[in-house]
Amino acid sequence: MVQLPGPLSGRTRLFAAGSALLLAAIVVAGPIGEAARLQDHLSPVADPYSESNAIRAALAVLERGWTANAGLPESTFGGLYPETGHFRRYQGQTHIDTHYPPGPTWLTAAMKLGCGERPISCLRALPITVSALGAFVLAFALMVSLGAPRGLAAALGAFAVPLYSNMMLGLHYQGYALALLSIQLGALLSFFSSARALRALDLLLVAGLAFLQGWLSFDYFFLVTLAPLPIAVLFSDLREREPCRRTFALVLAGAAGFALAHALHFLQVVAYYGDLATAAKDLLSVAFERADPTLSTYKPPPEWASDPWMMSSIFLFVLSEREAHFGFRLGWPLLAALAMLSLLRGARLRLPGTELRLVVDPSARPAWAILAAVLVSCAWISVMPGHAHTHPHFIPRHLFLAWFVMIVALLCAFRLEADRPAANA
């Protein structure tokens, strides 16, 4: 089975907390500098289309009240950024966005209350702060769960890819989503690496994080709900009843929190239209469009866009290579990791020129954990290929879970040991 360190000493925990704090500061330094540089400009990386919608809708909230239009975003309000977002799409006509929950709008409006007439860059303080918290929690949880050296290496690997930090300043949901997922992953590492009993507060934390994710957007549904699976596979034996029960409870809590957020959003849409059937028809029609690339109103899709496996492959082997995402084709490291874990399982390899051996864990769980993470990461891409095809600039961020689990699985599966010669008979 995967070997984990025992409880950390107080001094080691202090080192882990300090290291996590330093890492979080380093990670957010770039977004802070970029926010200061942008001032009143939209971020060219953090989805300027959605940012402009959030800013205009926030101004509408402050002008017309938080309950106007049943609390739904009026994304064409005012005349800011007329060349992007819904203002350009709807040619300045009033548009109430019934398809997105109002979380990003409400957060932006709340920040606008505090920032007043300061530049738009002031609004970015909230997503950057949440992102710093997410990076700290994840790094600290990794060091506590894996031990300081391996945990620090895992955090460095996770944070190194561009997509982890380049949208931290975003004013729409992308500015918060990975941060909230990082907090959830940190909590899951704590649950499963310690094998402690699951408490009601644990389930409430997972459900609360899922609710926030659902109140911000919709496409993180599978990531948020199914994130416990690869972590559980790596750290526990799901053939046993108790780990299986804990995993199911965490999945159910995440699904419930996310579903509650969208149930409330649906009620908003019902209140806006004043009719249940009209609201249901509106949301079902957009769901069908997101599921079927041929119904896309943005750009004509290629023939393969309706094939879930092909769409997932495009994201893993093509879109992941973009500089704003990973900068390399993620599919190849994932395949290499699976191959190594399968072929070298249980091996003890002497490192030439040293007195060390590379020991590979005999358990198959690290490989299964990576495979589970890939399937979870690609779930939205496979189920909603229309939405994935239309948004290749931010949907590849879903693949972070696969990257993260691969790093943790490899660090758990491989270790160095001193080569001790057998004692003479």
Give the pLDDT means over successive 10-residue stretches in the chain (425 positions): 64 90 97 96 95 96 94 93 91 91 96 93 97 98 93 97 97 96 97 86 96 96 97 92 94 98 97 96 92 73 77 95 96 97 89 85 94 97 91 95 98 84 49
Specify the DSSP element, H or E, that contains 416.
strand 414-418
Residue 259 Cα to chain centre, angstroms? 17
To which residue do tokens 């199914």 refer?
Answer: 226
Closest among 328, 289, 295 to 406, alpha carbons compared:
328
Q: Which domain, by its residues, includes 98? A: 41-118
Q: Which pLDDT does position 12 carry in this prediction?
A: 82
Residue 135 lies in a domain: no
The last residue of one of the domains, among 118, 142, 157, is: 118
Q: Which pLDDT does position 425 carry in this prediction?
A: 40
Closest among 276, 233, 277, 262 to 372, alpha carbons compared:
233
Q: Which pLDDT does position 292 carry in this prediction?
A: 84
Residue 65 lies in a domain: yes
The last residue of one of the domains, among 75, 96, 118, is: 118
Residue range 183-237, pLDDT digits in tens: 999 999 999 988 778 899 999 999 999 999 999 999 999 999 999 999 999 999 8
DSSP 236: S
Residue 272 lies in a domain: no
- Tell me the backbone φ, ψ of residue 417, rounded to 5 degrees: -135, 150
DSSP SS3 for 298: coil
Q: Which pLDDT does position 206 carry in this prediction?
A: 97
Residue 373 lies in a domain: yes
Q: Which pLDDT does position 195 carry in this prediction?
A: 72
Residue 261 lies in a domain: no
Residue 210 lies in a domain: no
Residue 245 lies in a domain: no
Answer for the pair 126, 107: CB distance below 8 angstroms, yes or no: yes
The last residue of one of the domains, among 73, 100, 118, is: 118
User: Helix crossing, 10-38 with 125-146: angle to 10°?
Assistant: 150
Answer for the pair 74, 42: CB distance below 8 angstroms, yes or no: no
- Tell me the backbone φ, ψ of residue 419, rounded to 5 degrees: -80, 105
Residue 412 lies in a domain: yes
In angstroms, what is the C-alpha Rg of the chain? 23
| Measured CA distances, 28 to 23, 110, 162, 190, 399 (Å) | 9, 22, 12, 24, 21
Answer for the pair 198, 244: CB distance below 8 angstroms, yes or no: no
Q: Which pLDDT does position 287 carry in this prediction?
A: 92
Structural domain total, the chain:
2
- Tell me the backbone φ, ψ of residue 327, rounded to 5 degrees: 85, 0
**pTM (predicted TM-score):** 0.94
